[in-house]
Amino acid sequence: MTIEPFDVVDLIRTKRDKGALTTEQIGWMVDAYTRGYVADEQMSAMTMAIFLNGMTREEVRDMTLAMVATGTRLDFSGLSKKTTDKHSTGGVGDKITLPLAPLVASFGVAVPQLSGRGLGHTGGTLDKLESIPGWRANVSVDEMMAQLESAGAVVCAAGSGLAPADGKLYALRDITGTVECIPLIASSIMSKKIAEGTAALVLDVKFGSGAFLKDTEQSRELAKVMVRLGEDAGVATRAVLTNMNVPLGLAIGNANEVRESVEVLAGGGPADVVELTVTLARHMLELAGITDADVEGALTNGQAMDTWRAMITAQGGDPDAALPVASEHHVVTAERDGVLVEQHALPFGIAAWRLGAGRARKEDPVDHAAGIDLHVKPGDAVTAGQPLFTMHTNEPARFERALEALQGGYRIGDAGEAVQTGGPLVAGVVEA
C-alpha cells in the first residue's frame, strides 16, 4: 500500500484559512486528484477555498505546471520553423483563428492551433471548420508535424493526453460555481497552452457583455496572470485586451463565420475582423522574430489564402466545396428611421445558440448552417423596414426562443445619440 505524503484535508484547511500551499503540496494534490485518490468532494472544497481566498503567484505557477505534468508535452524543436500560437478567451462572432493561423503561417512561421468546441453562447473553432465538407479535426502528432512543415498551420483537436487534470478539474468547477476565478481560469488555459509546446503565445483576452469576464479590469488582471505564467514556463507570452461588447464581424454561427473568414483572406471582410486579425498577426510574428511583415499585403495578394487552402486540404477538407445553408430564414427589420445605437454581443450569442449553432452540453450536435447574419453595426443609419439581421436554422420552431433572447439586445436611436460600443476594439496590450 502506497503511503501518501500529504493529507488533503490539511491542505483544504490551509487554503480555507488563507494560507499558501507549497510546490510539493500542490503537485501532489493535482496528481492525486487526477488518479482518483483525492475525491471530487474534497477538490470541490479546495476550489471553493481558492475561489474565496485566491492564490499567490507561486501557487498559480505551481498549479499550472502540476497540471501540465499530468500529461504529455508536445515538442516542436524538430521543426525547421519557429512556432507561435494564439488563444482567445471566447466571444460572439469570434472567428479570428480561421484567417489568423494561415496569415501568420504564410510568413514561414509554424502555427499549431489546438482548439476546442463551443459550449453555450461562445462558438468553437472546430465546429466552424467542420462546416467544410471532408475536414477532420483529429490528426495524429506525426500528421501535425508534417502539416506544419508543408502548409505551415494546423487547427485541430487537442488530444486527451495534454494536461488531463485540467479537463477533470474544469468539469468539477463547472458544477460547483467556481468557474469565475482568475487563478483557476489562468491555470486552466495556460496548462494546455504550455503543454502544447509552442515557443511563443499571444492571448486574446476579451471583456464585455459577450465575454467570459465582463469587466475590463478583471480581464486585465487575468491577462497579467497568464502572461506571467507563460514567461515563468519559458514561453514568450503577450496578451491583447479586446472588446466583446458588440458581436465581432457580421456573422455569428459556424458555416457563415467560415464564409466571412474566407472574405478576409481574400482581402475583404468586415473592418473589425480585419483589424483584430492584423493586430494579433503582428504580435505573433514579432514574438517569432519577424518585425517587418507586410501583414495587410498578405491578405490582398493571395499569400494567406494559399496557406488557408493548403491547411484545409491537408486535413481532408475541400476549400472549394459549398458550405451548408439553412432551410429556414427569418429577417428582422427596423421599426423606425434612426441610428443603431446598441447591439449587445451576449443576446446575439444566445440567440444563435438557440437557433442550433451552439450546444448546451458537450455531447450535443450543432447545426452548422444555423446562425445570424448582421446587416448593420452600431453607428449605422437605418430606415424603417430595412433589414437589421437575418436568422438561419433548419428547425423553424427555434425562431421564437431566439427572438426572446434578442429582446433588449439592440436599439435604434436618434441621429446624434451616443452609440454604445464599450470603447475601441483593442483596449491595450499586456507584456511581461
The answer to whether 144 and 156 are in contact (CB under 8 A) is: yes
d(CA 191, CA 51) in angstroms, rounded, equals 18
d(CA 169, CA 185) in angstroms, rounded, equals 11
The answer to whether 34 and 165 are in contact (CB under 8 A) is: yes
Q: Give the list of residues 6+ apart from residue 159 with CB closer than 8 angstroms, or none.
A: 72, 141
d(CA 95, CA 274) in angstroms, rounded, equals 11
Q: Are strands 371-374 and 251-253 parallel, antiparallel or unpaired?
A: antiparallel
Q: Give the three cell numbers for residue 35.
A: 488518479
Q: Give the three cell numbers for residue 309.
A: 487552402
Question: What is the tally of helices (H) and strands (E) in the chain?
Answer: 16, 13
The answer to whether 86 and 204 are in contact (CB under 8 A) is: yes
d(CA 313, CA 321) in angstroms, rounded, equals 11
Burial of 163 (0-12, 13-18, 19+ CB in 10 A): buried
Instruction: Enumerate the active-site residues.
Output: 87, 166, 173, 188, 192
